[in-house]
């Protein structure tokens, strides 16, 4: 292998910049049936919030129609949405969880 080829390959590699992956917001949507305590439980269980922060987010969902639970990469956000939807369904609540690009 020539020295020139190695230098060119190293130079090209140093020019390539890897962009960070796009991030997605995970949101809870308000409904008229899911109890507030259940929403707080979801926020504590799946988003590792303390009770105070979970209560603030729950009130945001209640008053503004939606609240941000966290910002994650696409795969993690999709997993969180599935977990919350499954937990809500298993507990017979219509709570909706969605993700949108940040």
Query: How many whole angstroms separate alpha carbon 68 and alpha carbon 73?
Result: 14
User: Which has the closest alpha carbon to 85: 62, 101, 69, 102?
Assistant: 69
Neighbours of 81 (CB within 10 A): 21
Task: Give per-residue pLDDT as tens, 19-77.
Answer: 999 999 999 999 999 999 999 999 999 999 999 999 999 999 999 999 999 999 999 99
Instruction: Kindly indicate the confidence band of residue 17, based on its pLDDT and cuts at 50, 70 and 90.
Output: confident
Query: How many whole angstroms separate alpha carbon 49 and alpha carbon 40?
Result: 9
Q: What is the pTM of this model?
A: 0.83
H or E element, residue 72: strand 66-73
């Amino acid at each position: 292998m020539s020295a020139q080829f190695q230098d060119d390959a190293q130079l090209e590699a140093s020019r390539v910049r890897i962009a960070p992956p796009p991030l997605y917001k995970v949101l809870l949507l308000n409904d008229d049936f899911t109890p507030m305590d259940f929403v707080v439980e979801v926020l504590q269980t799946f988003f590792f919030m303390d009770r105070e922060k979970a209560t603030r987010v729950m009130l945001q969902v209640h008053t503004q129609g939606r609240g941000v639970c966290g910002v994650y990469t696409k795969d993690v956000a999709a997993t969180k949405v599935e977990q919350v939807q499954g937990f809500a369904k298993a507990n017979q609540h219509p709570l909706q969880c969605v993700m949108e690009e940040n």
